[in-house]
Structure 1
Amino acid sequence: MKALHLFEGYGIEIELMIVDAATLTVRALAETLLREGNGPVSNERSLGRVRISNELAAHVIEFKTPGPAAGFTGLTEDFRSAVDEVNRLLKVHGARLLGTGMHPFMNPFEEAVLWPHGQKEIYNAYHRIFDCRGHGWVNLQSVHLNLPFCGADEFGRLHAAIRCVLPLLPGLCASTPMADGQLTPYCDTRLAVYRKNQQRIPEIAGSIIPEAVFDPRSYEREILLPMYHAIAPMDPDEVLRGEWLNSRGAIARFERNAIEIRLVDTQENVEADVAVMGLVAAVVRGFVEERLAPLNIQKQAGTRMLADCLNQAIVDGESALVSDPGLIALYGLDRPKRAGDIWKAWYDRLLPHCPELLPVASFLEKRLEQGTLSSRIRQSLGEHPSPERVRAVYGKLADCLATGRLFCGF
């Protein structure tokens, strides 16, 4: 396949939960969805212009573009059609789809069912080394955005831009204020557990923010090889020796000439997922085209500074205050600002210049005014939510996924 240049294609993957229609408990029905008729279970299945698949947890189904889409026009409708079809198939089994980045009361150590098909030797190796039953493995749903590059120069510009955007992503798309039936101290609980799920081998995830490397050879030397060396004693057959082992917030996929952004929580519906991805792509483009900061300033951004900002945004979401002098210079601010306000300012500034925004603008403007889904969920739950309240609020969220409406409280 011919390598695409910057912003010539967009790959989107959206993970959604399968839950019981009445109780909202997780249901391991991905196998049912990936079997056509009485045939064998497939790793992937096409539903219109979208493919569905599974990787690890049997109660999660992934919706994705079958290849790079040329733009965002029509993507919302493609994903909406596929979600409607899956909900129709699940209804027979008394189940439905649920969005957000984590199930609110799942006990992963008791309820998790690991996917027994496909590349199960990889899943088995992960499970043997890390124990994949925890929240950071089987109870987290995200949206991935794949952006292409062609050649070393484009890789460097894209990687520099993505590093600048990653720290503020929870301020746009956090959707996980609770776990184990309790509110947590985090706006983005998914990322709070994700950043710790492979601490046994810290080289795999690093600081979540990728190191400041801007050419493929340096990336291999400073990120990939240390990771492979660290896991080698526990993976003698090299089952996990692949660039996908990298668990940073954005990972280079040289096999398909793309960088994959992985820090976005799943939202309440696919309309919001696609809209958020449109804004993320536009802001990355804004940095690549140096509308938001010169390239030399982007490359000077320290990993520790960016990681500290991300960690604060994981706690505070859109209310996270960006006050570090280095970040103020990087983001072109005249004073400290909240993460949510920075996203709104980026949207206003980039709307005339970025084609990614035009198909999602009307939906996105409503979304930006409402704040993160995490904050809306927390407000709806109250300070000490009962199990009944949790089920009522998340039942409304499942309705939002089914209807395409934004969650505006309960």
Structure 2
Amino acid sequence: MDSQPKRTLHLFKGFGIELEYMIVSKTDLRVLPITDKLIYDEVGKYVSDVEFGDIAWSNELVLHVVELKTQGPAKSLEGLCSKFQEHIRKINQMLEKHDAMLLPTGAHPLMNPDTDTKLWPHEHNAVYEAYNRIFNCKGHGWANLQSTHINLPFADDEEFAKLHAAIRMVLPVLPALSASSPILDGKATGMFDTRLDVYRKNQLKIPSITGKVIPEPVFSKKDYEEQILQRMYHDVAPYDPEGTLQEEFLNSRGAIARFERNTIEIRLLDIQESPVADLAIAQATVAVLQALIAERWVNLEKLKQFDENRLADILENVIEHGQEAIIRDLEFLSCFGFKCTDNCTAGELWRHLAAECVVLEEQPDVQHALNVILSRGNLAKRILEATSQNPDKQTIVKVYSQLATCLHKGGVFLPEKPC
């Protein structure tokens, strides 16, 4: 969670990336709660963070997930995938003695959260215990989700307004690229992004924490604190008498403002089969945000007019249908310079945006990963191609083991040509 710049940086002058992976058995994909053992093997003590210069490892809520993150702001997204890949191979080598490996994708397809969940028991666990007491974290939306976070800086209120306005517009269509969780409880769910569908509902006990996932249209620190943060803190207070959760991290929207370090953290993305695909999506996202902030198609005031309910309708459609989601809001499409006289799909919108904005010629591996996503579909679609719509456990284990191989090798998953 600390991959953000501590000092003030202007728009797109620094980047923080966080990648979450699950630790599983190499033989049957059984969930293994041994992140603390992994960290202990590296540094000889149970700590929450291990720093290696550019990249750090850290724990998460549950004991079977490890997070890899940039240590401080990276000046560029270029080259980050190889740095992350190096650490993935190192971790996999360390896990061999446990007959374990890292598993990608947004959700484990076979995990039973009721029996497989163990919370992180070491430092900082007071926060996790508070969450568990209030929400019961033995659920897919807590214990079985792996995501990619993109952290982007802003220097002042003016830059915050621009960045927040642009991010809110991109959030609804991001799962078209990033969805990678089509199977849960051993069954195809009928959704491409099941992780997000569960995530958006798992804190309904206190609705203001997640809201509509799409943030409200607020464009200053003062308004954000009054309309989002203080309302959230007020609502959680009866359940949190110690005040453990009265912090910005409580905010569970798809993008959250972190004023303590002047960043906005995009949290909506399912993790992919390897860092090269995650960085392809990150670079495409940043390219579109840069174009929106530069007012390439419409002015920023136009973007600010879209309320969270209107954008959430698009998001829910994309969560279910991925790139095949039909977008009927022509005014939304026009904000991206996409002249559509009739309905178009989220995939068509992204192919338009990639052609308009994304330049990856000097990064052939990243370009290839994005091309696969745009031409063959997001990872969820490719997983379903490999498993069929009604897979048995043996098929699921086979396909997800192939995905784990992709992660170790740094490749892109194609059903007919596994990594």
Q: TM class by shorter-chain length?
A: over 0.9
Query: Which of residues 246, 249, 252 is equivalent to 2:254?
Result: 249
User: Structure 1: which 5+ residue stretches go unaligned?
Assistant: none
Q: Does 1:390 align with 2:408?
A: no
Alignment of 1:181-200 (within 5 A): 181-200=186-205
Does the aligned pair in 1 maintain the 2:39–2:50 contact within 8 Å?
yes
Letter in structure 1 aligned against 2:19:
I
Q: Which residue of 2 aligns with 1:201?
A: 206
- The aligned length equals 409
Does the aligned pair in 2 maintain the 1:167–1:313 contact within 8 Å?
yes
- Root-mean-square deviation over aligned CA pairs: 1.7
Query: Which of residues 137, 153, 175 is equivalent to 1:132?
Result: 137
User: What CA distance in whole angstroms lies between the structure 1 residues aligned with 2:294 and 2:307?
Assistant: 20
Q: Which residue of 1 aligns with 2:375?
A: 369
Query: Which of residues 328, 338, 345 is equivalent to 1:338?
Result: 345
Distance 1:356 1:391, change over 3 A: same
Alignment of 1:209-220 (within 5 A): 209-220=214-225
Alignment of 1:61-100 (within 5 A): 61-100=66-105
| 1:39 Cα offset (Å) | 2.5
TM-score, with length taken from structure 1: 0.96
Does the aligned pair in 2 maintain the 1:48–1:81 contact within 8 Å?
no
Does the aligned pair in 1 maintain the 2:336–2:353 contact within 8 Å?
no
Percent identity, aligned pairs only? 44
For each residue in 1:25-60, what CA deviation from the matched residue of structure 2 results, as whole angstroms up to 9, or x when unmatched? 111110111114673211111346311111211111
Distance 1:398 1:359, change over 3 A: closer
| 1:86 Cα offset (Å) | 0.2
Q: Does 1:381 align with 2:355?
A: no
| 1:278 Cα offset (Å) | 1.0
Distance 1:355 1:200, change over 3 A: farther
Letter in structure 1 aligned against 2:312:
A
For each residue in 1:8-41, what CA deviation from the matched residue of structure 2 results, as whole angstroms up to 9, or x when unmatched? 0000000011110000111111011111467321
| 1:326 Cα offset (Å) | 3.1
Alignment of 1:112-131 (within 5 A): 112-131=117-136
Query: Which of residues 32, 39, 62 is equivalent to 2:37?
Result: 32
Q: Does 1:320 align with 2:325?
A: yes
Does the aligned pair in 1 maintain the 2:338–2:352 contact within 8 Å?
no
| 1:362 Cα offset (Å) | 4.0
For each residue in 1:151-170, what CA deviation from the matched residue of structure 2 results, as whole angstroms up to 9, or x when unmatched? 00000000000000000011
Q: Which residue of 2 aligns with 1:351?
A: 358
| 1:330 Cα offset (Å) | 2.6
Distance 1:271 1:219, change over 3 A: same
User: What CA distance in whole angstroms lies between the structure 1 residues aligned with 2:345 and 2:298?
Assistant: 18
TM-score, with length taken from structure 2: 0.94
Distance 1:149 1:355, change over 3 A: farther
Pick which of 28-37 and 65-74 moved more: 28-37
Query: Which of residues 171, 182, 207 is equivalent to 1:166?
Result: 171
